Structure 1
Amino acid sequence: MTFTVLIPARLASTRLPNKPLADIGGLPMIVRVAQRAALSKARQVVVATDTPAIVDACRAHGVACVLTRADHPTGSDRLAEACAQLGLDGQDMVINVQGDEPLMDPGLINACADTLAERPDCVMSTAAHAIEAPEHFANPNVVKVVTDALGRALYFSRAPIPWWRDAPVPGTPASGSGTPLRHIGIYGYRAGFLRQFPQLSASPLESTESLEQLRVLWHGERIAVHVSASVPGPGVDTPEDLERVRAIIAAAR
């Protein structure tokens, strides 16, 4: 099994300006992400960006990078162009690692690739882990996923799903086989489908939930879900997140 890791990166964050170039222990965050991804079994790790400054930062640290158009509406559109630039075959596997995940577990990348390789009935793979804290279950910024008997996604939502009807306290996460799952924002694709994705019409559910992966389910395709036993390291969305990650990396030295 071989796969390529693609990391989309832009400077458009409103909560943390110039986020991909934020310094973490002497390295730009996007470089940290690429270095973590390189610890996986990927045959290549490539950053896809529309920003020359990100290209320069990557090249200064030996990270492969492609410059894409600036008018892509989604990260998936940017990755589709990157697949074309890299000449990836339709059955080549691509793992999309977000550019704000400097603590990404290389093992999770491998698991996402393994899951897709083992599921020819699915055009994509992703990951999730069990939710145990009620506040996370109720938080609309924590995306939930429910799966079928074969581990394929039935639905993704910002709402608390599945709802435990007989919970002793309303909104309490279910127990046992009904334990809800928190979606982890890592995706595996076959390159052929990734190139087709931008041509699929957006779905009403995608617009309602603001979750791009619902477009895939809306059009009748399948997404395999790897359930991780561990919680991934924190991503970076805010200045507070950045300080938290800086402290974790500094403590690990």
Structure 2
Amino acid sequence: MNKIKIVIPARYSSSRLPGKPLLEINKRPMFWHVAQRCIEAGVPIGDIVIATDDERIFNSSNTFSIPVVMTSNEHQSGTDRINEVASILQWSSETLVVNVQGDEPLISPDLIKQVIGLSVKKSDFDIFTAIKRITSLDEFKNPNVVKAVIGNNNRALYFTRSASPYNRDDNTDFSFAFRHVGIYAYTVKSLYQFCSYPESNLEHSEKLEQLRALSNGMTIAVTEYDGDLAHGVDTLSDFHDVKRIIEGM
């Protein structure tokens, strides 16, 4: 089995909530809680890396003895930041890298384990991610819910903000509809390949980074997750909600 690494992108600047990786829950910064979920998924702390562009986050990571790498502040996405980490640390081309968002302190360890397991079962694919069945028409029609269109062999055919796949005979039917869950895994080789491509037209239009991979012929495998999805932290209100949940555990 390939070596497994988790990289947690933790950027200081955020238009809606600047400095959110450093917001404290139980006297620990938010990125620390994300790292704990990764440890609970069975990945040792030595294989978890915080990827940041800010000295405050870098220093805080060191304070809590979490491996950290300082990256460029010019990256357009977390994937580009992860790619730089893999390059700096000279990970082998077959190393599996899991991208866990730094603003999801309640992410399920089972979800992380499931995506890692998918990469073992479907090793002939380039990228691995998760989906969850859509359960309401409102969710199906909501453009903020990214839909994943799935073909045979757990293969993702497309991702879109539109209500898809569409049933011509019944436009209220969402029985084959799934939402995309934003966790990714890729080998370093696939990560390098992905980041070598410019933004694709479909990616630019839908504002979905994974369409760059599909537009260039890369393959994406999915696993269906049936657990509850934890809400990420985008706003101060989100943070207070998550803080209450964690502090009440």
TM-score, with normalisation over the residues of structure 2? Answer: 0.94
Which residue in 2 is equivalent to 1:39? 40
Q: What is the number of residues matched between the two proteins?
A: 246
Counterpart pick for 2:184 among 178, 183, 187: 187
In structure 2, stretches of 5+ residues that fail to align are none
Which residue in 1 is equivalent to 2:83? 80
Question: Following superposition, which runs of at least 4 residues in structure 1 exceed 4 angstroms of deviation?
Answer: none
1:123-162 Cα shifts (integer Å, max 9, x gaps):
1100011111222222111111011111111001111111
Q: Is it true that 1:9 corresponds to 2:10 in the alignment?
A: yes
Q: Partner letter of residue 174 of structure 2?
A: A
| Whole-angstrom CA distance in 2 between matches of 1:110 and 1:65 | 22
In structure 1, stretches of 5+ residues that fail to align are none
| C-alpha displacement of 1:165 | 3.0
Which residue in 2 is equivalent to 1:174? 174
Q: Partner letter of residue 182 of structure 2?
A: G
What SS is found at the alignment partner of 2:73?
coil
| Whole-angstrom CA distance in 1 between matches of 2:101 and 2:32 | 12
| Whole-angstrom CA distance in 2 between matches of 1:127 and 1:58 | 28
> Cα 1:243–1:219, aligned 2, differ >3 Å: closer, same or farther?
same
TM-score, with normalisation over the residues of structure 1? Answer: 0.93
Contact kept, 8 Å, 1:151 with 1:224, in 2: the verdict is yes
What SS is found at the alignment partner of 2:8?
strand
Which residue in 2 is equivalent to 1:53? 56
| Whole-angstrom CA distance in 1 between matches of 2:185 and 2:232 | 18
Q: Is it true that 1:225 corresponds to 2:226 in the alignment?
A: no
| Whole-angstrom CA distance in 1 between matches of 2:147 and 2:97 | 23
Q: Partner letter of residue 7 of structure 2?
A: L
What SS is found at the alignment partner of 1:150?
helix
Contact kept, 8 Å, 1:133 with 1:173, in 2: the verdict is no
The Cα RMSD (Å) is 1.3
Counterpart pick for 1:122 among 117, 120, 125: 125
The alignment-based identity, stated in percent, is: 40
1:147-193 Cα shifts (integer Å, max 9, x gaps):
111111100111111123333xx5x3523xx2x11111100000112
